[in-house]
Amino acid sequence: METFQRLESEVRGYCRSWPVVFDKALGSHVYDENGKPYLDFFAGAGSLNYGHNDPELKSKLIDYLTDDKIVHSLDAYSASKREFLKTFEEIILKPRGLDYKVQFPGPAGNNAVEAALKLARKITGRQTIINFTNGFHGMTLGALAVTGNSMKRGGAGVPLDHVATMPFDNYLDGQTPDFLWLRTLLEDSGSGLDAPAAVIVETIQGEGGINTASAEWLRGLADLCKEYGILLIADDIQMGCGRTGNFFSFEEAGIVPDIVTLSKSISGYGLPMALTLFKREHDVWGPGEHNGTFRGFNPAMVTGAETLRRFWSDDSFAEATKAKGELIAGRLQEIAAEHPETGAHVRGRGMARGLAFEQEGLADSVSAEAFERGLLLETSGPEDEVIKLLPPLTATEEELITGLDIIADSARAAVKQSQAS
Amino acid sequence: METFQRLESEVRGYCRSWPVVFDKALGSHVYDENGKPYLDFFAGAGSLNYGHNDPELKSKLIDYLTDDKIVHSLDAYSASKREFLKTFEEIILKPRGLDYKVQFPGPAGNNAVEAALKLARKITGRQTIINFTNGFHGMTLGALAVTGNSMKRGGAGVPLDHVATMPFDNYLDGQTPDFLWLRTLLEDSGSGLDAPAAVIVETIQGEGGINTASAEWLRGLADLCKEYGILLIADDIQMGCGRTGNFFSFEEAGIVPDIVTLSKSISGYGLPMALTLFKREHDVWGPGEHNGTFRGFNPAMVTGAETLRRFWSDDSFAEATKAKGELIAGRLQEIAAEHPETGAHVRGRGMARGLAFEQEGLADSVSAEAFERGLLLETSGPEDEVIKLLPPLTATEEELITGLDIIADSARAAVKQSQAS
Amino acid sequence: METFQRLESEVRGYCRSWPVVFDKALGSHVYDENGKPYLDFFAGAGSLNYGHNDPELKSKLIDYLTDDKIVHSLDAYSASKREFLKTFEEIILKPRGLDYKVQFPGPAGNNAVEAALKLARKITGRQTIINFTNGFHGMTLGALAVTGNSMKRGGAGVPLDHVATMPFDNYLDGQTPDFLWLRTLLEDSGSGLDAPAAVIVETIQGEGGINTASAEWLRGLADLCKEYGILLIADDIQMGCGRTGNFFSFEEAGIVPDIVTLSKSISGYGLPMALTLFKREHDVWGPGEHNGTFRGFNPAMVTGAETLRRFWSDDSFAEATKAKGELIAGRLQEIAAEHPETGAHVRGRGMARGLAFEQEGLADSVSAEAFERGLLLETSGPEDEVIKLLPPLTATEEELITGLDIIADSARAAVKQSQAS
Amino acid sequence: METFQRLESEVRGYCRSWPVVFDKALGSHVYDENGKPYLDFFAGAGSLNYGHNDPELKSKLIDYLTDDKIVHSLDAYSASKREFLKTFEEIILKPRGLDYKVQFPGPAGNNAVEAALKLARKITGRQTIINFTNGFHGMTLGALAVTGNSMKRGGAGVPLDHVATMPFDNYLDGQTPDFLWLRTLLEDSGSGLDAPAAVIVETIQGEGGINTASAEWLRGLADLCKEYGILLIADDIQMGCGRTGNFFSFEEAGIVPDIVTLSKSISGYGLPMALTLFKREHDVWGPGEHNGTFRGFNPAMVTGAETLRRFWSDDSFAEATKAKGELIAGRLQEIAAEHPETGAHVRGRGMARGLAFEQEGLADSVSAEAFERGLLLETSGPEDEVIKLLPPLTATEEELITGLDIIADSARAAVKQSQAS
């Protein structure tokens, strides 16, 4: 561990909560270098929806590498990219009636967001992007401008402009009508809101604290965008790829965003990959107007295509996810009910769930206790007040129950400790 | 190919010059799906310095995957990251006397640049970055602001601020003393140049047209930075990892930048990976102040460490690169001399070489002719006036000569055709 | 009139509503070059609170000029500036317990606003200014950034940054608690609101449509600012100098802003002059850090000092203004009540009053009818939906009643016409 | 003086060099309150080209006020505005073949600059303005962005964007060809210079240190602008109104700027007034798109029109100014020659002249010595290294010689003192 302290920048973060050296991983578990297993309810912050090192995906990946298929091809045509595109069209786009074109904007989610923002500004000739309180979209300058977290914004070192922030669903007092503020601004030529190019929204804000937008709110937002000629960007980087049940997290609301960003679990195997999707009529890019070295990382396309075939050819995976989500929610409700004095309450949808505590510091303690008990669990929210459950969607019921039991124990221990001190 | 036209965004670029579907790749060659080989003098725009699918690296990579070692770990500690860090320290940093700390800023070069710019601004509390004409640093908003290309800048859709552009080495008339303009601005409190946080520079501008900074100019720049308390960022994403001979392209000049960005060939196998290096005293990051999902992609660290061991344990690889570079330069000189009426001249250092034509459109024609003859070759420069040679550093002399002969033929054909029309 | 069309820019505005050439002016009347009088309920948009060409001020001004006293002195010391400062201290600051320092930022209101914004940013080291919907603060780039009107913002030609707009009092649905949105953003480190340097507010938004902030709302705002370490800037350019009764329009609310801007009627005679006032501890300016050619226009200081002595040595003027304000409000209520179908309602405080119509275009028609009947009357509000009454504070009751009768007639005529069409 | 210290902001500047209280002024002299006269070689920083309180102008002004002519009329039509416009057309525009339209942008020079920048951006749809090293254009945010002085820029508290600074004439080493840098940037699509809306230039930089652009350089600039479709803005606020001889300072170069700003001496009497002039085809303003309270200050138009009639009806005044300018230059040359060890040299054109010292601090000492001897004299330049002579154009030869003798004495005293210390 001394190696890391000596050589790795102080910017490192997760390792501070989990001071062990990981070595192996399989399914819902990771193992430290002493072979100690940890049940993983973190799943690479949503990048490992299908668990670690899925054997069938692994096999495809190793075959690809073994055969000396091309690994790195920028945006030249490759057989594996064609296969990915066709599979994505057949399994994802067509059944959902989505006539999207696909951009490979680079390997990271922030590349997908940056491309989405550029495209929205190019299409509309406008500059302002509407984002939401506690949104998280990435660390590059364009993506950071639409991100709420003040510590991360402070890292920019320059003003973060061309953005107008609106209240996310349920952000205010529960009385204020949805979009009252935004609609009033849009209707008033003296409001000071410059005509917006686009709205960027997560259906569930993962980093923001598992804040969940209702289907009704999302539809209201989509309607508002249509009414005022504003493009709707759904950032589905963390909540897409089945995290909430359906492949896209916005399907339940029945909306069709103009632009969609995907990354994290799109390769299915934790390989860097990202996509920006947009309606065909929005494909106003010039050749090479946005580029990037790793936009053609073929192994990720290979596992990505296989993932789609295996998990998304029918509804069964989505249904299983929803059922597991209910299981998790039910158990979390019980845990919350055990500790009413902590102001605990459950958030989320599908297998993106949070247990929020009003008592300061408690979520961090629960997470630390859980780690002691062999469970990896992140906190999120502006004050890290929420324990955030993103187990692999492939986790078995037994694994889920095991993890939830650990959380229950950890909550008891953390509450007890906080009362003692 | 119809699949790509139907489904992939119009932003796609390289595929337009090379309208075939690539499938396999080995060493210095890629193969289309009909098995037709192409000699690769493009090397993933510098991401494949060690060629495609190097057998030893492949073996390490497949072993790692086969053993279910952890693939995706964000910035948790992993055994492969420790191994990479130690190897990087032993083989790269220590022998060069560099006391750098290492940040894993995300998988792409632009992530490394964005982190570098943020850090420089945080350290200095200033905002202005000095960049150079025809610099290229990436497509995310922060990196794009320091990039010169007007088409790509136009894609931003918002103003690109907090940057002051200076002439790169040899940019002006060859008479103006180096840094006359910059130094005068810095010395004059009425110049309008707000105190700069940092200078960002490529030692050779790859996208900009293989514009080569002399060692003297680089030393002058480093001295100027020191004199005025400006941080020096060397963007070694394309020219580092041995492209010019030494591991870092700035070694020849004997300078020690404050911050260094690496990506492209750092994994050795075309896997997405990037590093931001900085002097120990500059490590002022707070935990998590910059983050990103794919900053802990372990397979890239595995091949990256192996690459360092294999190629960089002694000077032989660097020396071989320099020798091959001379071979390339010599042959290019002959080609240039064959066509004096085209204003052809040779640029570059090590195995980053360019043949620039003053005659408009000629470089594109040469590149197209070369493709017809089975050679992949990019053009660069503001008017695509330069054919850019970035062969794998591992290319054999025979491969180099074969490729250079194709270039010679292509040049003859292109010149003939241009005279005919 | 042909001269203006040939030589004056199309940017000219008021002349389009009042297509006559004015020549003389006295008290509450202006006269066109044919000698036709117009009763002036516009008063130079609040610059002529003491009417046109007040004889005693005129006499002082002519004496000053006749004696060859210095006219233009930049920010050198002058006897008339000293006299103004002492008078301002004695008559305005001391009785109100205000320990303000005085800056002469230039001749125009926008200079006062620009200086206020700079100072707030310098004091706090922050950049974001909170402004309010439909605020108006001037046309220079800094002042325009905090102005709401979209047509005027569009004139900037560059993005207007570093501003976060909040709802003015009563802007939303009348249900949303005051400052709910702002307070929530301030309390939430994930809200995306960068720490604000200052709030800039008008107590009554003149250009915005005579939108009136309640004393309670203003106190709430002042408290919020104190709580979060945000500076409070009261822009009293149009509503200060007695327009609402008291000298400062914020006195009624019992608040003490950190920074106050004054202009328009501060000279008392329509001469260009502006002040930026701020608490003594906020005087962090360096010598010459903000300057301007006409910041020392002595004749304006002479009439300004005399104005203070004549009108502000005791409360009688303020009381008279309030009484006249009630007279105006009462008569406007009657007019509104006459036309319930137009959605007419009365706004304002003191002698800043508005009659707002929900019926589109009606306010403009009323204003045009009034001009026909010899009354000058402006409209304001984002849709020009409000007729705005800013008569001289020195207008007699008879003049006010005459003007209000014209408005009543004009409203009847305009309503009738609108029903006919 | 205690009054100022107690009540006036620390931002005050000139008063620190001249710690007396001025009271009266006539012609080339101002008088402190003890009646002590000072010969004024400062002339309100160029606002008093016709001296203080010219009797004929005064008479016109007092008549106007006495007759209760309208003082403040915003942009309504007034008889005095018509008279000013016609006079300006007859005496200034027509004889010079200038088909300009006139905007009254507000009372201050910065208003004229802000309007010019807005208009240039509106016409071109571009944002970047090219300015020059050591340019000075005002303190409002838009004008400050194109101003070079770092102390004043620092006062902004926000980044000053959308500007690219180029070297003024003779700024570099005297070897670099004019416009080499700008032309190269414009011709190179990879240069990073976003297409500029306009260039803003002073023909002589007053605040910047009496840096004088040659006629040839100005013509080169105008040609470059034409070639690249960039608008040319001449900021003639300080150097116009006859300061260099001709009415406009750019006449000598034979260029016709697209946009011209005037202020300072345009009223002839030190009254706040400013104009933005532009070619007829550039009048794309919408009504009210730029406004301001004091844009219709009629007394300034009255004295302004009279000034034009008196001084500009024929060439005699311009010729006299040029002759006096030569007288000044000659005497300054002699003073410089007396002190070769100080690196003294003479700058300027017409009656805008500077004596620059390479010896640090000397200019300030000379200015202080001159004040002791009854001469008001400003310093300018980034290091206040230049004594700046802007005597009234109406100063007599005797007055000029008296002042120059004082300067000669002051220089001797200052040099002696500096050698002693």
Phi, psi of D341 (to 5 degrees): -70, -15
CA distance A99 to chain C (A): 33
Amino acid at B412: R
CA distance C288 to chain B (A): 14
**According to the model, what pLDDT value does residue C174 have?**
87
Amino acid at D20: V
Q: Find the mean pLDDT for residues C295-320.
A: 98
Whether the predicted pLDDT of A320 surpasses 90: yes
Looking only at the bridges linking them, the beta strands covering D275-279 and D100-103 are antiparallel
Amino acid at C122: K
**Other CB atoms closer than 10 Å to residue B59's CB: what's the count?**
13
Sign of CA dihedral B225, B229, B230, B236: positive
Looking only at the bridges linking them, the beta strands covering A29-32 and A22-26 are antiparallel
Q: Residue A140 and residue B88: Cβ atoms within 8 Å? A: no
Residue B190 has its nearest CB partner, among D127, D150, D172, at D150
Looking only at the bridges linking them, the beta strands covering A22-26 and A100-103 are unpaired
Tens-digit pLDDT profile for residues D216-271:
999 999 999 999 999 999 999 999 999 999 999 999 999 999 999 999 999 999 99
Write out the two tokens for C307.
């104005």
Q: Find the mean pLDDT for residues D361-366.
A: 97
- Token pair 């299409």: residue: A123
CA distance D103 to chain A (A): 25
Which chains does A contact via 3+ CB–CB distances below 8 A? Answer: B, C, D
Tens-digit pLDDT profile for residues A394-412:
999 999 999 999 999 999 9
Phi, psi of A201 (to 5 degrees): -145, 145
CB B261 within 8 A of CB B276: yes
Pick from A160, A176, A259, A263: nearest CA to A217: A176
Which chains does D contact via 3+ CB–CB distances below 8 A? Answer: A, B, C
DSSP of B257-306: -SEEEE-GGGGSSS----EEEEEGGG--PPTTSS--GGGGBHHHHHHHHH
Whether the predicted pLDDT of B421 surpasses 90: no
Cβ neighbours of residue D137 under 8 Å, at least 6 residues apart? Answer: D109, D110, D113, D131, D143, D144, D146, D147, D200, D235, D237
3-state helix, strand, coil in chain D (%, to 5): 45, 20, 40
CB D379 within 8 A of CB D414: no
CB B108 within 8 A of CB A107: yes
Options 3.40.640.10, 3.40.1190.20, 3.40.50.1820, 3.40.50.620; CATH of C60-311: 3.40.640.10
Question: What is the band of B38 on the pLDDT scale with cuts at 50, 70, 90?
Answer: very high
Nearest CA in chain B to A272: B294
Question: What is the band of B119 on the pLDDT scale with cuts at 50, 70, 90?
Answer: very high
Q: Residue D297 and residue C272: Cβ atoms within 8 Å? A: yes
Whether the predicted pLDDT of D399 surpasses 90: yes
Q: Residue A294 and residue B287: Cβ atoms within 8 Å? A: no
Which residue(s) pair with A261 in the sheet? Answer: A235, A276
Whether the predicted pLDDT of C316 surpasses 90: yes
Long-range pairs, B319-326, Cβ under 8 A, ≥24 = B319/B245, B320/B393, B321/B242, B321/B243, B321/B244, B321/B245, B321/B350, B321/B351, B321/B393, B322/B245, B322/B350, B324/B351, B324/B393, B324/B395, B324/B397, B324/B400, B325/B244, B325/B245, B325/B349, B325/B350, B325/B351, B325/B352, B325/B353
Write out the two tokens for A265.
């679990």
Whether the predicted pLDDT of A5 surpasses 90: yes
For residue B218, how many C-alpha atoms fall within 13 Å in the half-sphere facing its CB? 23
- For residue A72, what is the DSSP state? B
End-to-end CA distance of chain D: 31
Residues in D closer than 8 angstroms to C143, CB to CB, are 140-141
Q: How far apart are CA D44 and CA D25, in angstroms?
A: 12
Q: What percent of chain D has pLDDT over 70?
A: 100
Give the residue extent of every domain in chain A: 2-54+315-420, 60-311
Cβ neighbours of residue C208 under 8 Å, at least 6 residues apart? Answer: A190, C133, C134, C135, C136, C148, C168, C202, C380, C381, C382
Residues of B with CB under 8 A from a CB of C: 158-159
- Token pair 């250092």: residue: B349
Q: How far apart are CA D122 and CA A306, in angstroms?
A: 53
Q: What percent of chain A has pLDDT over 70?
A: 100
Cβ neighbours of residue D102 under 8 Å, at least 6 residues apart? Answer: C7, C8, C9, D85, D88, D275, D276, D277
CB A395 within 8 A of CB A51: yes
Question: What is the band of B278 on the pLDDT scale with cuts at 50, 70, 90?
Answer: very high
- Token pair 């003798």: residue: D405
Average pLDDT, chain B: 97
Looking only at the bridges linking them, the beta strands covering C275-279 and C259-262 are antiparallel
- Burial track C402-418 (b if 16+ CB lie within 10 A, e otherwise): bbbebbbbbbebbbeeb
Q: Which H or E run includes C163?
A: strand C163-166
Whether the predicted pLDDT of D174 surpasses 90: no
Q: Residue A158 and residue D158: Cβ atoms within 8 Å? A: no
Q: How far apart are CA A414 and CA A338, in angstroms?
A: 13
Cβ neighbours of residue D269 under 8 Å, at least 6 residues apart? Answer: C71, D50, D53, D54, D57, D58, D61, D300, D303, D307
Fold classified for D2-54+315-420? Aspartate Aminotransferase, domain 1 (3.90.1150)
B·D CB contacts under 8 A: 124
CA distance D148 to chain A (A): 21
Q: Is C255 exposed, middle or buried (0-12, 13-18, 19+ CB in 10 A)?
A: buried
Three-state DSSP at C26 gives strand
- Token pair 């202080």: residue: D368
Residue A100, sorted as left (phi over 0), alpha (psi -120 to 50) or beta, turns out to be beta
Residue A140 has its nearest CB partner, among B66, B111, B293, at B111
Whether the predicted pLDDT of C421 surpasses 90: no
**According to the model, what pLDDT value does residue B3 have?**
97
Sign of CA dihedral C146, C151, C156, C158: positive
Amino acid at A39: L
Q: Residue D134 and residue B185: Cβ atoms within 8 Å? A: no
CA distance B39 to chain D (A): 29
Q: How far apart are CA B271 and CA B293, in angstroms?
A: 15
Three-state DSSP at B63 gives helix
Q: Residue A155 and residue B122: Cβ atoms within 8 Å? A: yes
Question: What is the band of A7 on the pLDDT scale with cuts at 50, 70, 90?
Answer: very high
Residues in A closer than 8 angstroms to B44, CB to CB, are 72-74, 293
Q: How far apart are CA B243 and CA B322, in angstroms?
A: 9
**Helix runs in D40-166, H state only:** 43-46, 55-66, 79-87, 109-124, 141-145, 150-154
Three-state DSSP at D360 gives coil
Q: What percent of chain C has pLDDT over 90?
A: 99
Tens-digit pLDDT profile for residues B245-261:
999 999 999 999 999 99
CB D278 within 8 A of CB D232: no
Amino acid at B91: I
Residue B176 has its nearest CB partner, among D162, D180, D195, at D180
Which residue(s) pair with B231 in the sheet? Answer: B198
Residue D142 has its nearest CB partner, among C140, C237, C278, at C140
**According to the model, what pLDDT value does residue C1 have?**
87
**Other CB atoms closer than 10 Å to residue A183's CB: what's the count?**
15
**Other CB atoms closer than 10 Å to residue B227's CB: what's the count?**
11
For residue B34, how many C-alpha atoms fall within 13 Å in the half-sphere facing its CB? 4
Residues in A closer than 8 angstroms to C193, CB to CB, are 165
**According to the model, what pLDDT value does residue D421 have?**
81
Pick from A76, A84, A290: nearest CA to B3: A84
Q: What percent of chain B has pLDDT over 90?
A: 99
Pick from D132, C119, D154: nearest CA to B195: D154
Q: Residue B176 and residue D171: Cβ atoms within 8 Å? A: no
Question: What is the band of B174 on the pLDDT scale with cuts at 50, 70, 90?
Answer: confident
Tens-digit pLDDT profile for residues D68-127:
999 999 999 999 999 999 999 999 999 999 999 999 999 999 999 999 999 999 999 999
Phi, psi of D30 (to 5 degrees): -120, 160
Write out the two tokens for D385.
């290294």
CA distance B399 to chain D (A): 33
Does the model's pTM come out above 0.95? Answer: yes
**According to the model, what pLDDT value does residue D212 have?**
98
DSSP of A285-298: PPTTSS--GGGGBH
